[in-house]
Structure 1
Amino acid sequence: MVAQKERTCVECETPLKLVNKSGYCSKHLYRSPLVKERQQQYQQSEAGKTAAKKYDQSEKGREKRRALQRSPEGKERSRESYRKNREKILSRNRKYRQSPEGGRRFKSSRMKAKYGISLDEVEALLEKQNGLCAICQQPEQETIRGKYKQLAIDHDHKTGRIRGLLCANCNQGLGRFEDDPARLLAAVQYIQTRASKQ
């Protein structure tokens, strides 16, 4: 009787059981052409697409996608995709920003970047001030294209701390005095002395 030659894994040369016809041990089975073909068939089936979508929406899937996007290969792939589809992407972004949800999100991210405050926090501050300027207690009077402007976010230029919401006139007035209390008090005294002489 002829002794059979012991079969080993193609990858690591681990001895295989006689029933194993793939040529790969369990550790390297995923590299088998047969397994790869079955995986592709599953991924293209409805069940596979549903499972992939479910995984992508899961926390684990999102984290994996973020990690890929942060990797050098992911960044290069993203740049290449942008170069190919630039006009389509810009058009889609423009359309989204013009929608109510997109406009709000864009505005909120711009405020967060510039002032470190979200749109929800600005709305809470506006409600606290009853929609009026923190200095003159009047609503905004300036308009842009027929719509009243929103109250300006007043912040300390040295610390970046938000002080309140002001109308355009009060905000510009503070800006002209460079937020200097001494100059503001001098201006108040000047107005009071000139008014009393008349």
Structure 2
Amino acid sequence: MKKTLLMAALVVAAVGAHAQTKKQLVDKILAAQQPAIENIAKSIAERPALQMMQAAGNALQQLPADKREATGKQIEADVRKFVDEAVPVLRDRAMKLAPSTLGAQMEEKFTEEELKALLAWLESPVNKKYQQVAPEIQNAFAQKLIVEAAPALDPKLQALQSKVRSTLGISAPATEASRPAAGKASGAK
């Protein structure tokens, strides 16, 4: 009987140690992924603000020219204030939520060996270098894609803009109508 209890205690201890090791690995992975988690939170905060800015930009065109700049600056300041207040709240909640969501999923879906391999990759110099150069590489790709796709998409974009303006009963501003869409797109980052 003592042997059976001792064996059961050892099995429970081994399972507990295994789970603890997996949890520790997941905690390290989440720590390594903190910048990505924070970027998700920032993106969530910025998304509605960007949509609001786009809608406001369209509405600003309806205002008298002498009021557009001041109104635009006020809206931009209000939106920036919202983002500045929302990002820290979302970032804090994201970091608190990550262990129970992302961490729980990793513990469930990955073996201990897979978690070790993932952590090794995340902490590797190659991954760190990739994370540093990825935005530059992706931006260069996006710029090239815009240039390459512009001849095919500009006529369609201009037709869509005309159709939307027509549907809304708005005539095209002279500056926008005379400027090609490719010029607008290539200046974007």
Structures share a fold, TM > 0.5? no
Bigger radius of gyration among the two: 1
Instruction: Select the structure that is richer in helix.
Output: 2
Please indicate the TM-score interval, normalised by the length of the shorter structure: under 0.3
Structure with the bigger percentage of strand: 1
Q: Calculate the TM-score normalised by the size of structure 1.
A: 0.20
Which of structures 1 and 2 has the larger relative contact order (alpha carbons within 8 angstroms, sep 6+)?
A: 2
Please give the TM-score of this superposition, normalised by the length of structure 2. 0.21
